Every structure is written in structure tokens, then in C-alpha cells.
Amino acid sequence: MSSKRLLTALAFAAVCLIYLSATRTEAESITEVILPPGYRIERYISGLTFPTGITWDESGVMYVCEAAVSTREGPQGIAALAGDGGPVHGRIVWVGPDVHEVVIDGLNPPVTDVKIRNGVIYVAHRDCVSAIEAIEAANAPVAQGDAQEQPGQSDMFRRTDLLQGLPFGDHFTGEIAFGADGSIYVGHGTVTNSGVVGEDNFQRGWAASFPEMHDVPATDIVLSGMDFTSRDPRTTNPFDNAVTGGFLPFGTQSAPGQQISGKSQAGGVIYRIAENGDTAKVYAWGLRNPFGIGFAPDGRLIATDQGYQDRGSRPVANAPDPVYHIEQGAWYGWPDFAAGESLTDPKFRPPAKNAPLANLLQEHPEVEKPIAVFEPGTGLMKFGFAPAIFDNSQRMYVAAFGEGDIACAAVGTKGLRHGIAAGTKDTGSTPGSCVYALDLGTGQHEVFAYNRTMAPAGRSLSGFNHPVDVKFGPDGSMYVVDFGVIESDGKVYRGVPGTGAVWKISIQRSELKLFREKCMALIQSIAGLGAPQEGDGPGVPDGLLGSAPQSLSSSWDPDYTQIQAQVEEYISGLTAQGQEWGVFFKDLTSGKTFGVNPDLQVPAASTVKVPVVLYTSMLVSRGELSWNETMTYNAARDWRGGAGVIQYTAKDGDTFTIRELAEKSITHSDNVAWTMLERRLGKDNLINFMKEIGGQTVYPGGQNISTPRDNATYMEAALNFSKTDPEGEKLMFDLANTIWNTGLNRYITEVTVAHKEGDIMGVANDVGVIYAERPYILSIMSKGHEDVEAGFERIGEISRMIFEYQNSMLR
């Protein structure tokens, strides 16, 4: 092998490694969250206050519940949770990248879950589960009412409480799940840590406000008569003590053989509510805090449970967080078993205790074993099952909060030695603040997403703080609800309002792995090492990423014959799959061009927004239009689905400036904004403008159809306008800062790409200016895709191929 050939191979290997390194560095500069290869993460929604759950309605609109929002300064703690005129309330908000609109307000704090079915919003909040139906949803998205409001009192929504009056204290109502039979399932936690009201419950605030509150079993039980002595916080004398038995109010002793009657309003249970809401019955019991529940793909009802803590009159050490398969009538061990093991086992004895724990119950039903266990203090929360597009094994992904609880952080809790305090110290010792992947078949789990520091991110917001929910959206991406920052002033542990978030984790179709394989294949080919052997990964079409031509003279006179042939060869493989592709390239230094099917007619989709906003900007520049002019939204005329947020937020009569519409048309590809702009400009005027600047295939037969050559023409016109006019500079800035980045710049992170993507069913397009050392315009259009996302991946590969070739001529 010649030295020149070897040098070429080594140089290209270095380029590949630099690119791969740059790709990882780019991701790391945005967030401190570490992910497996092939996934990417973005902070999708910011500024939430103690979010605890996420859901989507039938049209794909996202809703988030916020546990507790303070409306004014006032007393914190359980007085606020009581809803008796306190300043704290929960709510449901309608969210998007630029949207945060309250839909339902005045709920009992903490709100812990929201689900939507058949237009009805189901909410779990403190001691009840409610079904809320909008009476007049149109033009009236906000439902007002206080926490004590009864159904029918509001003229904007109707609230029906399906469950109410449940015992609460340390824990509350958890997640809602819908069964295949139409039934509604919901978890509800216990009042105390381990069955005995103690000094820790006074520290949490509720025991003083509700002195008669205690744990309530779901079925009749018999007590062992074991009592516990603790300091009595009801008096000022530090030497006063109280003796308390299990399942009894503070200061009440128990007796051996004492019977406690089971009640329908119990704690530590899973409820099943009839589809019509008429009846609610205990489905399973003996859980401590079953905060997350849901149905696995095989139909099993799964619940996460949070293990005992080392606190209170009956502290339990080293208790893991279990995951259970929930079966009707089964008992899961609380208050005398942890993850299927008796608390009398010495390993559960706290270091400060001399003797093992004793049982509270004299008799026990058969205890169920968990299907998986997690480390103590993990703080297992809600979960979701991955679709095959995200994870072929369709594992369960679960949020890990860390030690602590939602209510204490939301309203403030004094004097905790454990709980929130333990989970928020940046010691790196907590197994929380992450997302786990769990294989239900084997019970094995691994950390899927975690902070580089292995601790909550704090106010930097550069990574997870306290994940509380994981769900998969209509797009197949994972959405992680992050409760937000929790801090301490040495006395009170409180959450920081406005620091909650929703993170979006998307699959990249293993693109990093795929690119490594392609790099290795090409290196081997250039170096004469032969084709990849079996087990080395799939091969690639010859010349997929281009090869380095001979060095050029100082004059820039590029020859694109080779790269054109390489693009043609690559596209021929896609054409064989029934797809149609067109490419047009123009070097902006020499003016040279090449194309592969450059006049292929393809639905333009959102790429047409470039000439629309360009025309708008030119009219403003000439003084024929003002950015401050407003347009009034009318849903019957202007509503469009697809990309953008205005479709979800606008109400008839809302006004938008021309500036707002133009910016959203580019940065968010908002279809409503585009429609309203086009209405203002006039369709005929727009068509004439597009033809004047060089368009050849302009709305043929009235259809939004273009070609790669025409799209490049419009982009070049925008670029030229930006060189002479500030309005053009703004347009190019917006094109370089769009939220949609899955095409031309998918594999290009080294330079700026100002571009506009567009897609509809079966169509994937992108056109842009790539600001390489020798900048160029690239326009790619395609149709016939079964998977549009795969189409954008191919666009990214073609774009990288051309980028490498353009740069190689400089080397």
C-alpha cells in the first residue's frame, strides 16, 4: 500500500474521530445528563413549579400537573395542604415549548397525577381522585375553583370526585391507570412510615393539625400489642413522653389481640374504580407508597413502592424500593415486611437500635414477593413502557426521585433528619436523580440516564434534579418530568418554584454507531484493508462519505464530478426502495453547481415558509408592511394542525403581530403562523414574488409543490437579502436557530447551518446554507417514505457526505 494511500486513510480516520468527539462534546455542553449512545436529550419545557405528572390528550396536546403553587405569602406545611384558606393549590397546565397555560386550578395540593380519556381529565390530588369535564371548552381553557368546590359549582367545568376522604399524612394518592376493562386504578399511600404515628410526623407538620389521623387497614387485622415510646411534641416539656400503638392515633396504646376493623377508605392500597365511577373498591393492599402504577404490554398491573425509612418511632433501615406485579386481593407486606422479607431480619435493624424490629400484626396473610428491587433511598416514582421504536426490548423506564417526598418539598417541612434531607445532599451517595431501565422478565435493571456528578443538578438546571415521572409521547420519545430543585436553610426543606422541567429523550436510530461503522468501512476501503468482515458491522455503499481529491491550487475552482457520482450512487439505493430523491448544490464562492434530479417535483411542506417570510421581510424593508401590524386569529379560517404551538394556545379574537407570525413560521415552523401570513400577503402576490426571484415550479395547479433547484433559489435570495438589509439578517438568524434540526445539520456540528425543514406524510425535505470554510447551499427533497424520520436520517448522511467532500478539497 502506498504511503499516500495510507496517509489518506489516517487523515480520514482522524476526521471521523474528531467528528464523533465533537458530536459528544456538543451534547455534553448542553446538559450534564449522560445517555447511552444513540440517544439525545433536550430540556423540552422549563419554568414549571413542582410538576409531578405528564399526559397527552387524543390530539397529542401535552398536559402537566403541578403539585402545589403558592399564590401569596402565608403559612406553609400541612395547614396549607388542608385547603382551608391556605395559599397553596394544585393545578393542571397545558404546555409546549412556548406554552404554559393553566387549564384547571384550585386543586387539593399536592396534585400527583393527571390522565385524559375520552375528553375527561382525571386528577389525583391529596385525598381524592376526581373526573373533570369541561362544560364549554372552546375559548375558555382555564377552569377556576377552590379546593373545596363541589361538582357543578363552576360554569366552566364539572368535577366529580370518584374517591374522597382518604387518610393522608406522609403519603398521598398516586398515579392513575386505565385497565383494558375500562376500570380506573389508582394507588394511595400510607399515613406513616411504618404504621406508628411518631415525633417525625409532628416534624412533617400534619400530626399537630390532624391529631386523630393514623394508618387505616383495608381489611380487618389483629395487633400484636407492640407499643412505642417517643417524646411528646404536644407539650413544651422536653421530658414528656407518649406511648403509641400501631394503627392508632398518637398517644394511644394498643393491646395484644386488639382488632382493628378494615375500611374502604384505607391507606397503602391500590383502588379499582368502575368505569362509570359509581363504585371504588380496594384491589390490593399492604403497600407503603405505591406512587407509580401502570399496565405492562402483557397486561399485568405493575406498581412501584417506596421502601421504609430510618426515622420515627419504628425506624427501618436498609429497606429497598420494590416493584410488584399487582394481583387482586393480594397483600404486599406492609407494615411487617420489606420487599417480601420480614422486618424481624436483623439487616433491617437501625444502627441506633439494640434489638431487631418486632411485628405490629399478630397474624399475616401470605406475602407477595417483588419482581425487582432497587437500592434503599432510590425513591421509585412513575414509569412508562418503551415503544419498540425507542427500545426493541420494550423495557420499563422508571423515574428515581431520590429519598424524600413531594409534599414536603412543595410546602416546606421542618426538622427532617431523613427523607428530603438525605436525598438532596450532593454527596453522590443517593441512587436517585436518574432514570432506570428495568427488564420485568429478569428483574435486572440499569441506569439509563443520569447526571455526570451523580447528584442533583441544583440551580444550574444543567441536569436532572428529582425525576418524578417517565412517559413516552405520541412521537415515541421519552419525556421525563423533573420536580425541580430542593434546598434547605438548615431548618426547612423546600422546593424552588419555577425550577421544574420536562426533559425529552429521543432515539437517534443508533446514528453514532452507524456512523462509526461507516467510517471504519471507508477507512478500510481507502487503506486497502478489504471489506469489513462478518461481525464488523454492515458495509456501506462505495464512496458514501466521499474521498479526498488531490490538493487544489490557491484559486478556488472545485470539481464536483466525483461527489455528484457518489450522491447519485447513494440515491440509487434509496430509489430501489420506492423512494424518489432530488438534490441541488451550489458553491457560494465559485458559483458552481451540481444536481441529482434537481427538478424533481415534491410537496414543499414547510420549506415554502422561506419565500413566505422572505417576501414579508422585503415588504417591511420597503415600508409596505409593518412588523407591528396585528392580525386576528379565527380558528375556522386559520387553524392548521402539524407543527407549531399557536394551534394549541390561540383563541378566536387573539391577535398576533406580523413579527410574531414571521418568527414562529421559521423557528417553530408554525403552520398557523404561516397560514395567517399567507392570508395577509395574498396568495397571488406570493406566487408572483416567488416567480420574480427565480422560482420555476410555483404552486402548480394551486398545490404547494416545489423542486430542489427552486428551494435553493429561495434560500439564496434570502441569503443575498441578508447581506444588504437588517431584515434579511433576522431571517437568516431565525433559520440558524430553529428548533427542528434533524436533517442537513444532523451530523454537522462544527459549523452553523441556517436551514428550513419540511415534512408531511411520506415527504422529508430540507434546504439551507452551510457556513463551511467555503459556504454552500444544499437543497434535498424526497418522497415515498414509510418512515419520514428515516428520510431525515438519509438527508443527514447526504449532507455530511457533501460537507466532508467540500472540506477535503481545502486539505
DSSP string of 130-190, one letter each residue: EEEEESS-TT---B---TTPPTT--SSEEEEEEE-----SS--EEEEEE-TTS-EEEEE--
Q: Which amino acid is at 172?
A: F
- Return the number of other C-beta atoms located less than 10 Å from residue 798's C-beta: 26
Q: What CA–CA distance (Å, rounded) separates 81 from 127?
A: 10
> Could you tell me if 256 and 268 are in contact, meaning their C-beta atoms sit under 8 angstroms apart?
no
Q: Which helix (H) or strand (E) holds 647?
A: helix 646-649
Specify the pLDDT at position 418: 31
Residue of 96, 110, 11, 21 whose CA lies nearest to 65: 110
Specify the pLDDT at position 147: 35
Query: Which phi and psi (to 5°) does residue 438 adopt?
Result: -125, 130
In the three-class reduction of DSSP (H, G, I as helix; E, B as strand; rest coil), residue 409 is classed as helix
Residue of 517, 602, 636, 630 whose CA lies nearest to 781: 602
Query: Which phi and psi (to 5°) does residue 473 adopt?
Result: -80, 180
CA 776 to chain centre: 36
CA 204 to chain centre: 31
Specify the pLDDT at position 16: 43
Q: Hey, which residues does 54 pair with through a beta bridge?
A: 64
Burial call 573-602: b when 16+ CB within 10 Å, e when fewer: ebeeeebbbbbbbbbbeeeebbbbbbebbb
> Could you tell me if 645 and 670 are in contact, meaning their C-beta atoms sit under 8 angstroms apart?
yes
Residues in the chain: 811
Residue of 559, 605, 560 whose CA lies nearest to 584: 560
E strand map for 210-336: 221-222, 227-231, 241-245, 259-260, 269-273, 280-285, 292-295, 301-304, 321-326
Specify the pLDDT at position 365: 96
Q: What CA–CA distance (Å, rounded) separates 53 from 502?
A: 10
Question: Cα–Cα distances in Å, from 489 out to 69, 87, 415, 416, 458?
Answer: 20, 21, 11, 12, 14
Q: What CA–CA distance (Å, rounded) separates 771 from 774?
A: 7
> Could you tell me if 719 and 769 are in contact, meaning their C-beta atoms sit under 8 angstroms apart?
yes
Q: Which helix (H) or strand (E) holds 806?
A: helix 788-808
Q: What CA–CA distance (Å, rounded) separates 8 from 315?
A: 67
Question: Cα–Cα distances in Å, from 434 out to 36, 493, 543?
Answer: 13, 21, 41
Q: What CA–CA distance (Å, rounded) separates 689 from 702?
A: 15
Q: What CA–CA distance (Å, rounded) separates 610 from 606?
A: 8
List per-block mean pLDDT (blocks of 10 residues) for the chain, which spans 811 residues.
Answer: 42 40 35 86 92 91 91 37 55 83 91 95 94 64 38 63 94 96 96 96 92 97 96 93 97 97 97 92 98 96 96 95 98 98 95 85 97 95 92 92 64 38 36 93 95 90 95 91 86 83 79 45 45 33 29 68 95 91 96 96 96 96 94 90 84 93 94 94 95 95 94 96 92 92 92 94 94 96 91 95 92 70
E strand map for 327-475: 337-338, 341-342, 372-374, 380-385, 396-400, 413-414, 434-438, 445-451, 467-472
> Could you tell me if 594 and 585 are in contact, meaning their C-beta atoms sit under 8 angstroms apart?
yes
In the three-class reduction of DSSP (H, G, I as helix; E, B as strand; rest coil), residue 58 is classed as coil
